[in-house]
């Protein structure tokens, strides 16, 4: 009898298919964790804007130009960069300052929700862009 050594092509294809399925499962889970990390960065950066707003208010006595002021540029840029990992401007969905109040919000990666922060210290997730726009226009998170 002639016995050959090694694996048949069918055995190799089955092993490769199993490895491909396992790699796909791992990749989907890793992507989910990466996006959850980006959401945490977005929330953290927007929350840090609150601290900078307090400093801005102590310096100027109002929030009127906070969202466009040099004192707000750095934290808003940091919040912007957390949205997709680059420094593309205007990714913080909305920011509005008035004399006595301000609010800012941005879209999260994992869900279609938005994270909103304001001058009252509120930090919350809201469900729609319309609610986010209402929030910053009223300078308060709903």
pLDDT digits (tens, 9 = 90+) for 32-68: 888 888 888 888 888 888 888 888 888 888 877 777 6
Q: Which two tokens stand for residue 36?
A: 């959850």
In whole angstroms, give the CA distance from residue 59 to residue 87.
27
Q: In this predicted structure, which of 5-9, 13-17, 90-94, 105-109 has the lowest mean pLDDT?
A: 90-94
- Answer whether 43's CB lies under 8 Å from 141's CB: no
> What's the whole-number average pLDDT of the chain?
76
Instruction: Tell me if the pTM is above 0.75.
Output: no
| Domain assignment present for 1 | no
pLDDT over threshold 70, residue 82: no
**Cβ-based neighbour number of residue 105 at 10 Å:** 28
| Domain assignment present for 56 | yes
Residue span of the structural domain in which 114 resides: 9-137
| Domain assignment present for 142 | no
More confident residue, 15 or 125: 15
- Burial class (CB within 10 angstroms; exposed 0-12, middle 13-18, buried 19+) of 88: exposed
pLDDT over threshold 90, residue 75: no
| Count of domains for the chain | 1
Q: What is the pLDDT of residue 90?
A: 45
In whole angstroms, give the CA distance from residue 97 to residue 87.
22
Mean per-residue pLDDT, 13-41 = 90
């Amino acid at each position: 009898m002639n016995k050959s050594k090694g694996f048949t092509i069918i055995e190799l294809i089955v092993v490769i298919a199993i490895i491909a399925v396992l790699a796909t499962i791992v990749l989907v889970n890793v992507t989910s964790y990466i996006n959850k990390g980006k959401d945490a960065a977005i929330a953290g950066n927007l929350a840090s804007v609150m601290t900078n707003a307090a400093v801005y208010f102590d310096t100027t006595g109002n929030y009127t130009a906070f969202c466009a002021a040099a004192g707000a540029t750095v934290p808003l840029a940091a919040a912007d960069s957390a949205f997709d990992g680059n420094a593309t401007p205007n990714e913080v969905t909305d920011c509005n300052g008035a004399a006595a109040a301000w609010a800012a919000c941005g879209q999260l990666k994992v869900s279609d929700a938005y994270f909103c922060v304001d001058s009252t210290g509120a930090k919350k997730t809201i469900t729609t862009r319309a609610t986010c726009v209402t929030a910053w226009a009223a300078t308060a998170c709903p």
